[in-house]
Structure 1
């Protein structure tokens, strides 16, 4: 894939700042679970400041996906993210499961989140990531109705592609579980994740291997991390040391918004893979 300024490949670190929204979305009684809440709180109160300090030192701007509830609950973290020029994307209202919500409820969740982000930041986000990637067949049209430029919830390619929504389009910046830090680092019984927690270097090694694969193919490397997981001290020290080298690789490190704009230019030039959405409109037997 061609990248701006003849960069040999592209790279993006995205952080989902879920905080303790996860426990409240999973369990109406979650507010009574202080240990689980404290694990989520680590993200905006300790992980985010640590990450931002590294980004400032290295001159890096990246993308943070934040539920609207977290924007209202952790304004200092969001203020610091915005102050340093990072992009904020929408990650639902309180990390609810879109696939368990009706069309009207999905629209309400989106609008509530957008209003919270816009009231705080002064702008409406251009990008969306569905909580736990649980996009529905209705979600992309809801996003297009609200002026989103891109989604980052699906997994049909290694590189950005376009969704044809029947006369409208949306850029998809794909992800997958192999570039998400839940499998190596999450251990969260309250929401059904009981992973064997890896050591920092072991858990992060697959991400760095993916980076080398993207370099060889001239593609996109895209990490999906969480401040309360990868933002922990020893893990972030591994990332920080790696970043100091990775930033000399020639990769175009960009926000997902910048990558989406580039992909949209390719789409308009007929140079971007386009897939119809939804893939199926009826039950398959």
Structure 2
């Protein structure tokens, strides 16, 4: 039976729209030799921090929302004005690797190097100490969990073991997991990026976003948790964002949906667990200690 989390102020459902601000980091890591001279993918990525982020922030300001963003450390360094604007408006910026590197391609020591380099970029450029993490391409290893615990992160939002938040216990410490899923990620709907191996048939704004609203309604009926995992250079495009604005206004008018940052949701989940240990599920990590062999 699914655990039942009681949301604040009588809300029926918790809701978070999160943005991964990858910008043009993707082309540089995918094409390290000549990515710097591939102007179309660079310009596509730059659309995020330079055009989409101001648009998104204006909407959030108009609607009175505070939400969560995740940015690679390199993006923080390259686009400090956009990052500072996000923090100035009271939003949260979480850790998203350094150059959107895949942790599973690195040894534990390499993972630590890139993780801590990104953390240092957030602190140096923004004075921001992230407490939330989303792994590039959702790839988390036990070494990443160990780094999150070492640096006293509050939550992760990369894994997919439940419909609602749960706790992960590892090394004598717990992290709140705010689960994501490809069903509420805009990449399958809108990403057309041959240079990094994605050639999705680009959906129209209404058709591409309708599955997200269907996922929300299912969570709303269950009194659960809905999270959008979007990219400014995809869903921040003009026609798509108009669809999002219309949806947000409709949902806000219901009056029983709690829009919050992931940091706020994680704090609430942890507090509820402390008050009622039966209300939040706990998973023990690591899942496995060694490769599982098949014969």
Report the TM-score range of the alignment, normalised by the length of the smaller protein: over 0.9
Q: Paired residue for 1:261, among 264, 267, 282?
A: 267
Q: Paired residue for 1:179, among 161, 166, 184?
A: 184
User: Could you say which residue in structure 2 is the equivalent of 1:114?
Assistant: 119
Q: Distance in 2 between matches of 1:194 and 1:263?
A: 38
Q: Distance in 1 between matches of 2:291 and 2:221?
A: 40
Alignment of 1:53-202 (within 5 A): 53-202=58-207
Equivalent residues of 1:200, 1:238 under 8 A apart: yes
C-alpha displacement of 1:216: 0.2
User: Could you say which residue in structure 2 is the equivalent of 1:15?
Assistant: 19
2:283 is the alignment partner of 1:275: yes
Aligned length: 285
2:22 is the alignment partner of 1:3: no
C-alpha displacement of 1:173: 0.5
Q: Deviations over 1:92-123 (max 9, x none)?
A: 00100100011111111111111111123323
C-alpha displacement of 1:283: 1.5
Q: Deviations over 1:26-84 (max 9, x none)?
A: 12121121111111000000110111111111111100000000000011110111111
Equivalent residues of 1:114, 1:125 under 8 A apart: yes
SS of the counterpart of 1:94? Answer: coil
Equivalent residues of 1:51, 1:231 under 8 A apart: yes
Q: Distance in 2 between matches of 1:279 and 1:237?
A: 42
5+ long unaligned stretches in structure 2: none
User: Could you say which residue in structure 1 is the equivalent of 2:44?
Assistant: 39
